[in-house]
Amino acid sequence: MATPDEFGTRKARRLNSLDAARADLYGGPNVGLPPKHLMASFSGDHNIPVPEMTKSPTDDEVSSEEESPQVATPLSTPPMITSDDFALAFDIDGVLIRGGQPIPEAIDALKYINGENPYGVTVPYIFLTNGGGKTEKERCLDLSRQLELEISPGQFICGHTPMREMAQRYGTVLVVGGEGEKCRIVAEGYGFKNVVTPGDIIKTRHDTTPFRKLTEEEYENSRNLDLDSVRIEAIFVFADSRDWAGDQQIILDCLMSKKGHLGTRSETFDEGPPIYFSHNDVVWSTSHEHSRIGMGALRASLEALYKAVTGKDLTTVAFGKPQMGTFQFATRLLQQWRSDSHGIDKPPSTVYFVGDTPESDIRGTNEFNEKSDIDWFSILVKTGVYQDGTIPRFPAKKTCNTVFDAVKFAVEREHQKTLKTLPNGEADVEVKN
Ligand SMILES: [Mg+2]
């Protein structure tokens, strides 16, 4: 029987994020969905051991009488026990979602770490995706619907989230990628003061892109510019380009300009604005049976194009996984999330990161682990970019078929640690998947 001492657990009511103090990393309201999905009652089929605790008044607030018409016994609504010793972090595409639909095992995996496991333990977790193109709040609402549980922006990082910290550095920026006006809205939400899009430039000077015409809606939403006075101080590719040819032409014009002044041409091709990408994934997992090219491919293409046109090398910067800065950001977010939602003020001993892309998820986790005081443990799943039978350039510490197998492995490994902890504090663990 599990006791509150196992897993470094503590009895903690998981706060609805609407109640929790807002993570300092973000502004704006949290996502509000009924907590009942998150706090779903256990069914008797799972043979949940009953923790030796008395029922607290707060348990009434999270039980659902409609879904549990019988008398609420401790077996059907056991007190929540939250691990403060380990945590989980998930990539999204190819792990939980594929082609806009949840991967079948994803919903069970999240139920499992929200208490529907043999130990009745809940495990704090965050999401760390390179994808983007919407506000964090909007993306969390989508994800909450897809995965049938409440997900808060306080536990979510996407590729462009760290760009927020650059809003004060640059005045006028070119923002590229995504659908319609969405990335402009994201950038303005981050605090960027003057956001120019490729649509603005095409609207103002239609022959900028000979083969791209704005739709009526794009024309309506785009803004007229004073091309003689606009100076692009930096270029940010927030999300995947919907029109590579047009966007590359406009980016190239900016990069080849004199200090970002639109319409000018540098003689030396070394005085253009800096360019930042929200991530560098060359391929990603969609509903198609083969991986599709992504932002990293655009980056490679632009670098090659710049070299071909100017003869010079282009320096570009990418955020997202596997960059160490993104994992540092994730560490801060996880700490804030554990504190706000679970009342845990100490760092975890281990963070299990579950991803499908060896080049970003696994590489980043392994390299960050070498620098971090926390043990970042990489788990590769076979539901996305990684193809079973191939040898990844960046091997994970553990490979699992699905995210459900991954979370079961993590919880079981932690359980085994508590049973097999050696006197010197090291764990002698061998867990079969
Ligand atoms: Mg992925």
- What is the C-alpha to C-alpha distance for residues 321 and 129, in angstroms, rounded to an integer? 8
Instruction: Give the count of alpha carbons within 13 A of 259, CB side only.
Output: 4
Residues with CB under 5 A from ligand 1 (ion): 91, 93-94, 356-357
What's the 129 CA to ligand 1 centre distance in angstroms? 7
> For 192-205, what is each residue's pLDDT tens digit?
999 999 999 999 99
pLDDT tens, position by position, 53-97: 223 333 333 233 333 333 333 344 555 699 999 999 999 999 999
Whole-number Å distance, alpha carbon 106 to ligand 1 midpoint, is 13
Give the model's confidence band at 285: pLDDT under 50 very low, under 70 low, under 90 confident, else very high: confident
CA of 210 to the centre of ligand 1 (A): 35
245 alpha carbon – ligand 1 mean position (Å): 26
CA–centroid distance, residue 386 to ligand 1 (Å): 9
- pTM for the full model? 0.76
Phi, psi at 70, each rounded to 5°: -70, 170
Residue of 357, 381, 391, 352 whose CA lies nearest to 105: 381
How many angstroms does the Cα of residue 96 sit away from the middle of ligand 1?
A: 9
CA of 384 to the centre of ligand 1 (A): 6
Alpha helices (runs of H) in 277-424, residue ranges in sequence order: 295-310, 324-342, 363-371, 403-420
Q: State the distance from the centre of ligand 1 to the C-alpha of 289, rounded, in angstroms.
A: 14
pLDDT tens-digit series, residues 409-432: 999 999 999 887 645 444 444 444
Two structure tokens written together for 216: 């009526």
Q: How far is the CA of 23 from the centre of ligand 1 (A)?
A: 25
